[in-house]
């Protein structure tokens, strides 16, 4: 959404991030509901992720103009590509094959939630790009359960981040309503389709999307778009 809002809607970079995050909030609410109706949400894991992300989402939104976002963006891109390459080999990871991360599960959830919340506040991303691989590769959850849990966990952090951007004047009131309306329809339908899809195929599709997203973060921004 951010590249589209900058390139097509001609929004400022900060405004694109804030407007995108309002749509992310809508996606999390509707998509999370869709997965919950299908029984694909781990509520305990979602609460842990939510608590960590809620704290860092506000920090990320507030620090957008104070840190070297380009360097952080590139590092995030490399991280996403690495996760995308690792996802197809989930069943070969020793801890997944043995039944999960055990006592380390809580630490994985806290770290994943913290990173996801910060990135959501900083870049306007949904955080699922961090949470889903952490749940799939770290805790060994099925893809559908990981996606439903990540969406549910991002509801409050996305709302916090969106509200912070709103207060900072980074939400375009002309574009946001139409964007939210679109993601409400897409999130619900996407959730229903994902629940009926074989887990391996869904994980493969997610890996491709994650790879594409990582490459997008590695691409240098044009000088005119950094304003």
Question: Each residue of 103-160: pLDDT tens digit?
Answer: 677 888 888 888 887 876 676 566 788 889 888 888 888 899 999 999 998 888 778 7
Would you state the pLDDT for residue 222?
A: 56
At 70, the pLDDT band (50, 70, 90 cuts) reads confident
Would you state the pLDDT for residue 138?
A: 80
Total number of domains constituting the chain: 1
Residue-range definition of the domain harbouring residue 151? 2-225
- pLDDT at 223 exceeding the cut of 50: no
Question: Each residue of 8-64: pLDDT tens digit?
Answer: 888 887 788 788 888 888 888 898 899 999 999 999 999 998 888 878 877 876 776
> What's the angle, vertex CA 75, arms to CA 74 and CA 78, rounded to 5?
90
Nearest CA-CA partner of 142 in 77, 71, 195, 217: 195
DSSP letters of 117-181? HHHHHHH---SHHHHHHIIIIIS---HHHHHHHHHHHTHHHHHHHHHHHHHTT---TTTHHHHHH
Do the beta carbons of residue 210 and residue 80 sit within 8 Å?
yes
Global pTM reads: 0.76
**In whole angstroms, what is the distance from residue 162 CA to residue 51 CA?**
16
How many CB atoms neighbour CB 22 within 10 A? 28
Would you state the pLDDT for residue 126?
A: 62
Q: What percent of the chain has pLDDT over 90?
A: 21
Do the beta carbons of residue 3 and residue 215 sit within 8 Å?
no
């Amino acid at each position: 959404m951010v590249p589209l809002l900058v390139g097509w809607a001609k929004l400022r970079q900060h405004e694109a991030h804030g407007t995108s995050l309002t749509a992310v909030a809508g996606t999390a609410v509707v998509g999370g509901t869709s997965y919950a109706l299908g029984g694909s949400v781990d509520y305990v894991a979602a609460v842990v992720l939510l608590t960590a992300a809620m704290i860092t989402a506000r920090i990320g939104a507030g620090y957008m103009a104070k840190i070297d976002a380009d360097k952080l963006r590139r590092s995030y891109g490399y991280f996403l590509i690495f996760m995308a390459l690792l996802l197809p080999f989930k069943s070969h990871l020793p801890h997944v094959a043995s039944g999960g991360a055990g006592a380390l599960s809580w630490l994985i959830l806290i770290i994943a939630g913290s990173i996801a919340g910060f990135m959501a506040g900083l870049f306007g991303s949904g955080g699922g790009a961090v949470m889903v691989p952490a749940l799939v590769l770290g805790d060994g959850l099925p893809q559908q359960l990981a996606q439903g849990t990540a969406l549910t966990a991002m509801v409050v952090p996305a709302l916090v981040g969106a509200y912070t951007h709103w207060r900072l004047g980074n939400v375009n009131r002309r574009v946001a309503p139409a964007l939210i309306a679109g993601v409400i329809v897409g999130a619900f339908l996407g959730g229903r389709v994902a629940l009926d899809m074989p887990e391996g195929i869904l994980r493969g599709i997610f890996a491709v999307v994650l790879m594409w997203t990582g490459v997008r973060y590695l691409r240098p921004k044009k000088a005119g778009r950094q304003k």
